[in-house]
């Protein structure tokens, strides 16, 4: 009984340290304060056609995935087949933000690997990505028809993440195309 | 003598060559010393989100350069330090500040050290007083063996 307090304190310390150890590797996943907030509005030149603009205003009324990528980003190359698979399901259109990239390289990359995106905004200077709180690529935001960011996924989307994290947040298959 | 002179000459040459790179990470110059001072203070107060334990001022990654450029543009446009902090906090969260403000969400962060220190001080005071009481009893009652569970170094000093 005399040792109750020290043992209890030790137990508390063990729990705290165990939590710390399990939390620590996820330090790379910083929760976004933008969840539940309106997506930043922008008007950026399109990657494929510099005279055309990609605007958030035109995306209103539809669910979309906003995927930040670049040809320099190795994890984006890993993610690419899954993005193509998502595009094939037709559940939700992909809008790309080509981040700090070269237009020529990006177009060549998409021609070689296939283009999962409905539209791609071109952000060579990287200032638009800051508005979205982006700190690495790939990052993917799920935006609802009201223009609210519902979810943010950091890192390459895996088939498992698509099923576990994205599908449950999307409306039933037949409801997506309408608004 | 000759070798020492050569060596110091070589050192001077290396330092001279290196000098232009000393400020390579954040080479910006603001138009006025006041803006320059605010810029310097701001970039030291933000965390680089990619390297996380470095400030924007010390980080060589290109995202940090973009963020410094954003800060520079906002300063030149007349934004206050608070507006610039709010801009980044609303996009990246309090994590981006090396010194987060005291709000409900960060209260535990600021209060935990105080609570831990108080707990430690109270436990120490409790142990010291108990030991002092036992030592006093020990002095008065030398013959009686003492079973206080605190046997060990320090008891009879």
Confidence label for B40 from pLDDT (cuts 50, 70 and 90): very high
Chain A nearest C-alpha distance from B103 (Å): 15
Q: What share of chain A is helix, strand, coil (3-state, %, to 5)?
A: 40, 20, 35
The residues, ordered by sequence, that sit 6+ positions from B75 with a Cβ below 8 Å of its Cβ are B30, B35, B38, B39, B42, B84
Which of A23, A42, A130, A131 should one mutate to test binding to chain B, selecting the residue with the greatest count of B CBs within 10 A? A130
pLDDT at res. A179: 41
| Domain range annotation of chain A | 31-175
Q: Model confidence over A15-47: pLDDT tens digits? A: 989 888 877 656 667 889 999 999 999 999 999
For residue B156, pLDDT over 90 is answered with: no
What is the arithmetic mean of pLDDT over A78-87? 96
Angle of helix A103-113 relative to helix A74-89, nearest 10 degrees, comes to 50
Confidence label for B102 from pLDDT (cuts 50, 70 and 90): confident
pLDDT at res. B22: 45
pLDDT at res. B3: 60
**Comparing A145 with B135, which gets the higher pLDDT?**
A145
Chain B nearest C-alpha distance from A172 (Å): 30
For residue A176, pLDDT over 50 is answered with: no
Contact A136 B50 (CB under 8 A): yes
Confidence label for B21 from pLDDT (cuts 50, 70 and 90): very low
Q: What is the mean pLDDT of chain B?
A: 80
Among the listed ranges A17-31, A97-111, B50-64, which one has the minimum average pLDDT value?
A17-31
For residue A7, pLDDT over 60 is answered with: yes
Q: What percent of chain B has pLDDT over 70?
A: 71
Contact B66 A125 (CB under 8 A): yes
Superfamily name with CATH number, domain A31-175: Glutaredoxin (3.40.30.10)
Residue A151 CB neighbours (<10 A) = 18
Question: Cα(A123)–Cα(A134) distance, rounded to whole angstroms?
Answer: 12
Among the listed ranges A47-56, A155-164, B6-15, B32-41, which one has the minimum average pLDDT value?
B6-15
What is the arithmetic mean of pLDDT over B119-145? 83
Q: Does B90 touch chain A (CB under 8 A)?
A: yes
Q: What percent of chain B has pLDDT over 90?
A: 45
Question: Cα(A161)–Cα(A144) distance, rounded to whole angstroms?
Answer: 18
């Amino acid at each position: 009984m005399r040792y109750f307090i020290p043992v209890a304190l030790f137990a508390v310390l063990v729990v705290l340290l165990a939590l710390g150890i399990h939390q620590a590797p996820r330090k790379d996943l910083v929760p976004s304060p933008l969840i539940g907030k309106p997506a930043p509005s922008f008007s950026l030149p399109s990657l494929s056609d510099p005279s055309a603009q990609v605007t958030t205003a035109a995306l209103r009324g539809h669910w979309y995935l906003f995927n930040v990528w670049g040809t320099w980003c190795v994890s984006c190359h890993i993610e690419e087949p899954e993005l193509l698979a998502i595009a094939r399901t037709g559940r939700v259109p992909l809008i790309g933000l080509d981040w700090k990239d070269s237009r020529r390289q990006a177009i060549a990359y998409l021609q070689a690997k296939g283009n999962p995106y409905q539209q791609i905004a071109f952000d060579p200077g990287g200032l638009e990505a800051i508005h979205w709180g982006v700190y690495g690529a790939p990052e993917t935001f799920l935006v609802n028809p009201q223009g609210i960011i519902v979810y943010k996924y950091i890192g390459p989307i895996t088939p498992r993440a698509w099923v576990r994290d994205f599908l449950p947040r999307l409306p039933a298959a037949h409801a997506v195309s309408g608004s | 003598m000759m070798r020492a002179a050569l060596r110091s000459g070589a050192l001077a040459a290396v330092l001279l060559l290196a000098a232009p790179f000393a400020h390579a990470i954040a080479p910006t110059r603001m138009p006025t010393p006041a803006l320059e001072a605010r810029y310097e203070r701001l970039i030291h107060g933000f965390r680089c989100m990619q390297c996380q334990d470095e400030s924007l001022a010390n980080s060589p990654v290109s995202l940090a350069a973009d963020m410094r450029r954003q800060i520079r543009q906002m300063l030149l446009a007349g934004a206050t330090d608070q507006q610039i902090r709010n801009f980044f906090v609303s996009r990246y969260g309090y994590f981006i500040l090396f010194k987060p403000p005291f709000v409900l969400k960060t209260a535990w962060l600021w209060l935990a050290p105080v609570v831990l220190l108080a707990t430690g001080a109270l436990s120490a005071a409790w142990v010291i007083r108990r030991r002092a009481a036992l030592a006093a009893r020990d002095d008065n009652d030398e013959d009686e063996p003492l079973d206080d569970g605190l046997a060990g170094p320090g008891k009879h000093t």
